[in-house]
Amino acid sequence: MSLRVSVVMSVHNGEKYLRDAIESILGQTFTDFEFIVIDDGSSDRSSEIVAAYTDQRIRFIRNEQNIGLTRSLNKGLELAGGAYIARMDSDDVSLPERLAKQVAFMDANLEVGACGTWALDIDEAGHTIGQRETLVGDQLDNFYWRTSLIHSSSIFRFNQTQGPWYDPVMPVSQDYDLWLRIRAQLKLGNLSEHLLLYRVHPKSITSVNRDQQINSAYQAFSKHVGEEGGFSFEVFKALMGYSHKVDPLRRSLAMMRLAKQIHKPYRVFLKDDLEYARKWFLTRESGAAQASQGRKILGALLL
């Protein structure tokens, strides 16, 4: 029988949390996998830590120079023999049932091309500090163009001929671009279970590259979803919930264009537009004029 899953993880100077990440994959209840680990030109002890493991499922590759996450992941995909690719980050922790539950879900739902899970946020010491509960079901289907799957919790269908591969021109937000491309052919899914511990710390990619990630996501959105709609960067941030600076009526008109483009009735987005309008007013100065304007905009949205 062919291999079911290839777990792909890239690490760059990640010695502090690396053992926890590796052992969380080796400790999975699901065992039919290979674990492809790419050391992306680390200058710390990351390479030594990986090399010390004797588990035959680990396939270790070392980049002589740092080539970045996207190219390193594609390097891992080139070696992958699994029908599914499962992602893992070197500072996160997968809970023991993660792969078993995701493989079962993917096997039972052939229309789904990629699946993520919910996650618990942990701090540098491993203490739970929050949770990440992504969209599921119809909400995910309607709002798939938002940040839909947690990358390090994801699993997706893959073959060496058709891919999908990460776009090498995307140094960050490569996962967002990938989800949009997968969604053009198949559905996305999320398991409503906390099967990943997501490490929050100052040196994480999310913390360091926040602005770059938003800009890169906008490029992917424009290419795959919004090119014909002519959505500006500010409107994109309002649609994604990153900013509340755009006038609610302007945002609702953009949402209507987007709904038409992705063949969804606008009514499924009305509640979201109303919630955006509420938050928009909270950022404004109070007063009779603002209240009057607020009633007019909310009335227009409800027509």
Can you give the residue range of the structural domain that contains 67?
Answer: 5-208
Residues 201 and 282 in one domain: no
For the cut 60, the answer to whether the pLDDT of residue 294 exceeds it is no
Lowest mean pLDDT among 63-67, 130-134, 288-292: 288-292
Residues 24 and 103 in one domain: yes
pLDDT for res 194: 98
Residues 249 and 124 in one domain: no
211 vs 155 pLDDT, higher one: 155
Task: Indicate whether this model's pTM tops 0.95.
Answer: no
Residues 75 and 181 in one domain: yes
Among residues 73, 259, 299, 255, the alpha carbon closest in space to that of 178 is found at 73
CATH number, domain of 102, equals: 3.90.550.10
Residues 58 and 88 in one domain: yes
Q: Report yes or no on 162 lying in a domain.
A: yes
Quote the mean pLDDT of the chain: 91
Instruction: Express each pLDDT in 207-255 by its tens digit.
Output: 557 889 999 999 999 998 876 667 999 999 999 999 999 999 999 999 9
Q: Report yes or no on 234 lying in a domain.
A: yes
Q: At what angle do helices 69-79 and 174-183 cross, to 10 degrees?
A: 50
For the cut 70, the answer to whether the pLDDT of residue 68 exceeds it is yes
Residues 92 and 241 in one domain: no
Residues 183 and 42 in one domain: yes
Residues 119 and 234 in one domain: no
pLDDT for res 18: 98
Residues 30 and 176 in one domain: yes
Sign of CA dihedral 214, 219, 225, 226: positive
Contact assessment for residue 176 and residue 151, using Cβ atoms and an 8 Å cutoff: no
Looking at 138, 173, 208, which one is the last position of a domain? 208
Q: How much is the average pLDDT of 265-291?
A: 81
pLDDT for res 182: 96
Q: Report yes or no on 218 lying in a domain.
A: no
> 77 in helix, strand or coil?
helix
pLDDT for res 287: 45
In the chain, which ranges are E strands? Answer: 5-11, 33-40, 58-63, 84-87, 93-94, 112-122, 128-132, 155-157, 187-199
Q: CA-based angle 135:100:128, to the nearest 5?
A: 55
For the chain, percent helix, then strand, then coil, each to nearest 5? 45, 20, 35
Q: Report yes or no on 255 lying in a domain.
A: yes
Q: Report yes or no on 220 lying in a domain.
A: no
Q: Report yes or no on 215 lying in a domain.
A: no
For the cut 90, the answer to whether the pLDDT of residue 158 exceeds it is yes
Q: How far apart are the first and last CA of the chain?
A: 58
Residues 116 and 164 in one domain: yes
Lowest mean pLDDT among 95-99, 140-144, 285-289: 285-289
Number of domains in the chain: 2
Lowest mean pLDDT among 1-5, 95-99, 174-178, 252-256: 1-5
Instruction: Express each pLDDT in 169-218 by its tens digit.
Output: 999 999 999 999 999 999 999 999 999 999 998 876 665 578 899 999 99
pLDDT for res 276: 94
